[in-house]
A and B are shown apart, each in its own frame.
Chain A
Amino acid sequence: MAAMGFAGLPAARASARGPAGSAGAFAASTFAEAMAALEAAPSPLITLEVPAIAENGASVPVTVSSALPGTREIVLLVDCNPQPAAAQFGFPAGTEPFVATRIRMAGSGAVVAAVLTDHGVFTASRAVEVIVGGCG
């Protein structure tokens, strides 16, 4: 993913509270690297809705909202995908820290929502059992 011009991990670490804070997670090629770049702590103030069982990994509905103060960005990650970061959403002032979309999952695994706030990075994780993987 470096070919896409995203910043590397050290830059992301330095700017975790800035507008480009999720770049490191996007640049990461493994789930562990992406999570390390985010330096996140779990939070019950994040609502992450995914199906427990998804018949088709090509289209898994995901809804995330954050009750954390100072939420700036939400990053969606999938631990079993070839590239862990699936999407990143930035919320300017006036936009609710909420997003719903559909993502691909290569197989059964965890969907993680990482929420970047003025006070650090927080996560919520849910397991999804995928019947037919969605990357083929």
Chain B
Amino acid sequence: MTTISPIRIRARLRDGLTEVHVLMPHPMETGFRREAADQPVAAAHYITDMRVSVAGRDVLAARLSVAVSADPLLTFRFRNAQAGDRIAVTWTDNLGGQRTDESLIT
């Protein structure tokens, strides 16, 4: 499996609401696509699940499919966190791949 880049996480607290932007580099290969007309279909390879937690508490759980664009980008918002809290994002893909990265809320 090719090496997949770290998840990029930006979490900013403003007026009690933390807005999070997550970018998960991943091919999100659909299983329908051919590199060229004479090539076989590229095997499906996509993120199936992702989870975001802050200080051990889940703040988002998502299930993705091949209908999510390559390098999935997500924005969401939650309450009850403080600047400096650690935010962790984990994804799992259909081939058993997994990646977790962390950032701090600013």
Contacts and interface: CB of A to CB of B under 8 A. Distances in A.
Interface residues of B, number: 29
Contacts of A99: 74-76
Contacts of B76: 89, 95-96, 98-100
Contacts of B98: none
17 contacts: A59-B70, A78-B67, A85-B65, A87-B63, A87-B67, A89-B61, A89-B76, A92-B61, A94-B59, A94-B80, A95-B76, A99-B75, A99-B76, A101-B73, A101-B75, A104-B68, A135-B32
A96 B78 contact: yes
Contacts of A90: 60-62
Contacts of A86: 65, 67-68
Interface of A: 1, 4, 22, 26, 58-60, 63, 78, 81-83, 85-92, 94-96, 98-105, 134-136
Contacts of B17: 96
Given A1-B65, A63-B75, A92-B60, 8 more contacts: A4-B94, A26-B63, A59-B69, A78-B67, A82-B32, A87-B62, A134-B69, A135-B32
B65 to A, nearest CB: 6
Contacts of A1: 65
Interface of B: 17, 30, 32-33, 48, 57-70, 72-80, 94
B37 to A, nearest CB: 11
Contacts of A26: 63, 65
Given A87-B62, A90-B62, A95 B78 contact: yes
Contact of B30 (A22, A88, A104): A104
A87 B33 contact: no
Nearest to B78: A95
B78 A101 contact: no
A100 B63 CA distance: 14
Contacts of B72: 101-102
